[in-house]
Amino acid sequence: MQFRFKLMAGAVAFALSASMAIAADPIKIGVSGPFTGGSSSMGVSMRDGVRLAAAEINKSGGVLGRQIQLVERDEEAKNERGVQVAQELINKEKVVATVGYINTGVALASQRFYQDAKIPVFNNVATGTVITDQFKPPQYPDNYVFRNAAKDSIQAPMIVEEAITRRGFKKPAILADSTNYGQLGREDLEKALKAKGITPVAVEKFNIKDVDMTAQLLKAKQAGADVILTYGIGPELAQIANGMGKLGWKLPIVGSWTLAMANYIDNSGANGEGARMPQTFIQEPNTPKRKAFIDAYVAMFKPKNNRIDSAVSAAQGYDSIYLLAAAIKQAGSTDGPKVRAALEDLKTPVEGVVTTYDRPFTHDDHDAITANIPVFGEVKGGRVVYAYDSDLKAGSKVREKAGATASK
């Protein structure tokens, strides 16, 4: 119900802003994500970040003197819906570019249509390593897929680094869900562990909607695990934490960034405290830009307890629109190939909330986030906070993409 009203309010707002800018046609940008379902806390936060950025840009006069108009579609985290949405946005809505994708599977199934239509598609949340490699040169002359999220091949080594090197655990157990996301992540984790010469003592699987994790946890316990590494999404991760609470067997949890999802934090309660995960953004106003973003977000969308459901998704969604707007401005056109070329050669740095994007992309590198950017977050008191004080203190110093200056 609430969702309906928000949609309607959004539609009215857009209609108003459109009628004010009669002078020029609006620039249509597609937004594709799961706004309902188990991934929705990420999808809705992403969409709200996108809305906030678009509203700010429109207020200051738009891009090329034209307003940004968002065309939002819910793909319900389903591959087939994602494909439909992509075709609709390209052929019917004639979007200039699309931002979105929370789920790796949906991104992989849908983004080929953008590639074929030569329209940039901007992954702002999905982390599957292969996403930006799908149409990689030299097999394809030009790649239209961009991303400003920390890919799994960055996250998995970070998780291992945190658990094994920094905190000195020796016997990790991996618990991953049976989806593509979980199993690809598990492979990345095992690879990263192998690089440290460590074999996990247990590797267990669980299904989406499983309500009992006793067997998986007992196996890990039996194998003598001293830390649990996870790859899954919120609800089942919460069942893992709750299962440990039941067994009275408390182990530290370190896992992929999804441990920051609101439905993990809320459903696990006290059992979920202390879980750590890599984060590109933590809701902490430690720079003026971040403070402005958080204040504006909270004022505009009024999240429960002033906590952004998925702060990472909101921040990356917000940044993706600014990057795109900068590229359109530089290209002086909304033509797909020109926008792509501009993205690959952004002349002026874009100040985002995650980082300052100074030449974030090149022709052969379409990932804006490198391993030095994410920090470790920790679940504490029902929120995600910086795991290390040093990161919190250094947080005001924005971490920029590694090697960016070298390539200049």
Partner 1 sequence: MTILIQLVYSGIALGMIYAVIAFGYQLTFATSGTLNFGQGEALMLGALVGLTLVDTLGLNYWLMIPIVCLFGLVQGAFVERIGVKPALRIKSEFGWIMSTIALGIIFKNVAENLWGRDDLKFPSPLPEAPINLLGANVLPMELLVVVGALLMMAAVEFFNRRSIYGKAVVATANDRDAAGLMGINTSLVITFSYALSSMAAAFAGVLVAPLTLTGATMGAVLGLKAFAVAIIGGLSSGMGVLVGGVILGVAETTTAFYISTGYKDVPGLVLLLLVLAVKPAGLFGKTAIKKV
Binding residues (CB under 8 A) for partner 1: these are 1-4, 36-38, 40-41, 178, 204-207, 209-212, 214-216, 218-219, 222, 234-235, 238-239, 245-248, 263, 266-267, 269-271
Q: Which is nearer to partner 1, 10 or 37 (CB)?
A: 37
The least distance separating partner 1 from the CB of residue 229, rounded to whole angstroms, comes to: 15
Q: Which is nearer to partner 1, 119 or 308 (CB)?
A: 308
Q: Which is nearer to partner 1, 29 or 220 (CB)?
A: 220
Task: Quote the CA–CA distance of 295 and 274 in Å, as a whole number.
Answer: 26
| Tokens at 353, concatenated | 């909330």
Tell me the CA distances in angstroms from 199 to 178, 189, 249, one per residue in order: 20, 10, 22
Tell me the CA distances in angstroms from 19 to 14, 22, 67, 69, 317, one per residue in order: 8, 6, 10, 12, 26
Q: Which is nearer to partner 1, 3 or 140 (CB)?
A: 3
Cis peptide leading into residue 138 (ω within 30°)? yes
The least distance separating partner 1 from the CB of residue 39, rounded to whole angstroms, comes to: 9
User: For the chain, what is the largest distance between any 2 Cα atoms, rounded to a whole number of angstroms?
Assistant: 70
Q: Which is nearer to partner 1, 272 or 336 (CB)?
A: 272
The least distance separating partner 1 from the CB of residue 379, rounded to whole angstroms, comes to: 15
Looking at residue 271, the DSSP 8-state letter turns out to be G
The least distance separating partner 1 from the CB of residue 374, rounded to whole angstroms, comes to: 25
The least distance separating partner 1 from the CB of residue 301, rounded to whole angstroms, comes to: 15
The least distance separating partner 1 from the CB of residue 210, rounded to whole angstroms, comes to: 8
The least distance separating partner 1 from the CB of residue 265, rounded to whole angstroms, comes to: 10
| Tokens at 133, concatenated | 């490699």
Cα 274 from chain centroid? Answer: 21
**In 272-310, which ranges are continuous DSSP H helix?**
288-301
Give 178: exposed, middle or buried? Use CB within 10 Å, 0-12, 13-18, 19+.
middle
In contact, 339 and 118? CB cutoff 8 Å? no
Q: Which is nearer to partner 1, 222 or 306 (CB)?
A: 222
Q: Which is nearer to partner 1, 205 or 307 (CB)?
A: 205
Q: Which is nearer to partner 1, 116 or 212 (CB)?
A: 212
Cα 169 from chain centroid? Answer: 28
The least distance separating partner 1 from the CB of residue 209, rounded to whole angstroms, comes to: 5
Strand positions, DSSP E, 49-139: 68-74, 97-100, 121-123
Instruction: Please list the residues that pair with 351 across neighbouring strands.
Output: 356
Task: Quote the CA–CA distance of 315 and 297 in Å, as a whole number.
Answer: 10
Q: Which is nearer to partner 1, 251 or 327 (CB)?
A: 251
Q: Which is nearer to partner 1, 1 or 22 (CB)?
A: 1
Length of the chain: 408
H/E element, 230: strand 227-231
Q: Which is nearer to partner 1, 137 or 269 (CB)?
A: 269
The least distance separating partner 1 from the CB of residue 190, rounded to whole angstroms, comes to: 15
Task: Quote the CA–CA distance of 280 and 391 in Å, as a whole number.
Answer: 12
Give 180: exposed, middle or buried? Use CB within 10 Å, 0-12, 13-18, 19+.
middle
Bridge pairing between strands 121-123 and 97-100: parallel
Strand positions, DSSP E, 75-226: 97-100, 121-123, 145-147, 172-177, 202-206
The least distance separating partner 1 from the CB of residue 267, rounded to whole angstroms, comes to: 5
The least distance separating partner 1 from the CB of residue 172, rounded to whole angstroms, comes to: 16
